[in-house]
Amino acid sequence: MHSGEICGRDFATGRPLRVTWAGGVITDVYDDDTESCNWLAPTLLNGYGGVDFQRNDQLTEAHLLSAARQLRRDGCGRFFFTLITDDWQKLMARVRVTRALRDAHPELRAAMAGWHIEGPFLSPEVGFKGAHNPAVMRDATAADLHELRAVTGRDPVLLTLAPERVGSLEIIRLATSLGIVVSLGHTNASADTIRAAVAAGARGFTHLGNGIPQQLDRHDNILWRVFDTPGIMPSLIPDTHHVSPLLFRHMHRALPAERIYYTTDAMSAAGAPPGRYTIGSIELEVGTDQIVRQPGKPNFAGSALRPVDGIKGAAEMLGKKWQEVWPHFSLRPAELMGLRNTIAPGEPADFCIVQQDDAGRLVEARMPASAA
């Protein structure tokens, strides 16, 4: 259904609203006192990759539509197609193929907001490399960035890199001038290098608290360095496992709220049942706890978390209402990537209709199309 209307309370103010839409676009938003148990909130926005995405020599429109619809069913109306460390030419070829599929389908054009390229310009150090293959990691060149910009056109692009790699500051400056948002990650850069990277234009830090060793120096480690760097915007995986509830709470005390956003990590099909999968050349296993691991290894290699479950996890860990943490998974990532994400006339009708229980806990989030 591409048109309809719904009443609900604005998630931020509690104000009762009526929203109408047609042709997938919001046509009107106005005050309406009709009794409703719905809440209305901007769409969740997530990075999303997975088995079929990384191995996408056979990637089809059907794969992408199935991913987009699965995300949409759970309140995530837009996602960043995510690819991790691989041979650069292979990565660029995958983006090219995927972008052509996206451009050919209106539903995919609405859902696929941009691209997240995580690697191969990362730290190969044990503990920092995570599940990425160090054999294909390398320093970035200016030609790489121009190619990335060319294959993605004017789309929003997030590039995760480790700033201790040779030539990174110039790469960050060039990326920024090309409109590519640089996020630091899988890095063991010094405090000075991280500050220099931010001064050069780096803005994010990818899944802070993960892509780091189990044991850290108590005086100086990547967490302390990020906490001590003004202006950097980390993403956190709010599944209660990737970042322990203790550390999660400390992160929210150490960083201003407007500088934290959430992600579920790039790896697997969210909601994928427990089992073994192959991502690129990596064997992975989804556990009953929705965590992705490399078989036989204790490290986390990603999560199968749905964004809406991340909202529940964050609210629970912080002892806050879902309405208070919702911006971290909707407005904040949109700000980082320069996207609008508001419920207003002329905007896409991809907002969330949220149900809560009598205790005010989030039960489910859906989108207008599935509600109509």
Q: How far is the CB of 266 from Zn ion (least distance, A)?
A: 6
Helices 88-103, 142-152: axis angle to 10 degrees equals: 20
Q: How far is the CB of 345 from Zn ion (least distance, A)?
A: 38
Q: Annotate each residue in 192-221 with x if it binds Zn ion (CB under 5 A) or - if it does not, as one string.
A: -------------------x----------
Omega cis (within 30) before 274: no
Q: How far is the CB of 217 from Zn ion (least distance, A)?
A: 21
Name the residue nearer to Zn ion (CB basis): 174 or 184.
Answer: 184
Q: What secondary structure letter does DSSP report for 3?
A: -
How far apart CA 208 and CA 204 sit, in angstroms, is 10
Q: How far is the CB of 120 from Zn ion (least distance, A)?
A: 12
- Total residues binding Zn ion (CB under 5 A): 1
Cα angle 283, 301, 247 (rounded to 5 degrees) comes to: 165
Name the residue nearer to Zn ion (CB basis): 84 or 151.
Answer: 84
Q: How far is the CB of 196 from Zn ion (least distance, A)?
A: 22
Q: How far is the CB of 133 from Zn ion (least distance, A)?
A: 12
Name the residue nearer to Zn ion (CB basis): 41 or 162.
Answer: 162
Q: Could you tell me which residues come within 8 angstroms of residue 359 by beta carbon, excluding any fewer than 6 positions away? A: none
Burial class (CB in 10 A: 0-12, 13-18, 19+), 352: buried
Name the residue nearer to Zn ion (CB basis): 208 or 362.
Answer: 208
Q: How far is the CB of 69 from Zn ion (least distance, A)?
A: 25
Are 366 and 352 in contact, with CB atoms under 8 Å apart? Answer: yes
- Other CB atoms within a 10 A radius of the CB of residue 303 amount to 28
Name the residue nearer to Zn ion (CB basis): 60 or 278.
Answer: 278
Of 248, 303, 267, 334, give the one whose Cα is nearest residue 76.
334
Name the residue nearer to Zn ion (CB basis): 242 or 332.
Answer: 242
Q: Could you tell me which residues come within 8 angstroms of residue 128 by beta carbon, excluding any fewer than 6 positions away? A: 122, 162, 186, 187, 188, 211, 212, 213, 222
Are 99 and 152 in contact, with CB atoms under 8 Å apart? Answer: yes
The string of DSSP letters for 131-175 reads TS-GGG-----HHHHHHHHHHHTTS-EEEEE-TTSTTHHHHHHHH
Burial class (CB in 10 A: 0-12, 13-18, 19+), 182: buried
Name the residue nearer to Zn ion (CB basis): 66 or 244.
Answer: 244
Name the residue nearer to Zn ion (CB basis): 75 or 114.
Answer: 114
Looking at residue 77, its amino acid is G
Q: How far is the CB of 369 from Zn ion (least distance, A)?
A: 31
Report the interface residues with Zn ion, using CB under 5 A. 211
